[in-house]
Amino acid sequence: MTYANVGTLGAAPGKRDELVAHLTQRSMELADAGCLLYEVGVSDDRPDTVFVVELWTSAEAHRASLQLPAAQASIAAARPLLSGEFGGFDFSVVGSPLRD
């Protein structure tokens, strides 16, 4: 069942755009691990926050992806760019009005 993970990441002062650049670096591993969609964004309303919407083939695929060496390296590299504030939620996709 498709799994959705939606999050907000607080950026360290002055580091938002660097965090965006980090999160949008082309990654073949993500698709191979079952990532269907990974959109990164910003909002004028919350200038120190980076927003992420992810869709995965399953919750298990998402969980497993976090253990990949490339993911571990990416998380370590992101650490200095983060404020430590996180938000968001996750859920199981059950349908869409755009398809039967």
Q: Under the rule (CB under 8 A), what is the footprint of a copy of itself?
A: 2, 4, 6, 8, 20, 23-27, 30-31, 35, 37-43, 46, 51, 53, 55, 89-100
Q: Which 3 state secondary structure label does DSSP give 18?
A: helix
Exposed / middle / buried, residue 9 (Cβ in 10 Å: 0-12, 13-18, 19+): buried
Q: Which 3 state secondary structure label does DSSP give 47?
A: coil
Distance in Å, CB of 19 to a copy of itself, minimum: 11
Nearer to a copy of itself, 12 or 38 (CB): 38
Read off the tokens for 11.
Answer: 């950026």
Distance in Å, CB of 37 to a copy of itself, minimum: 7
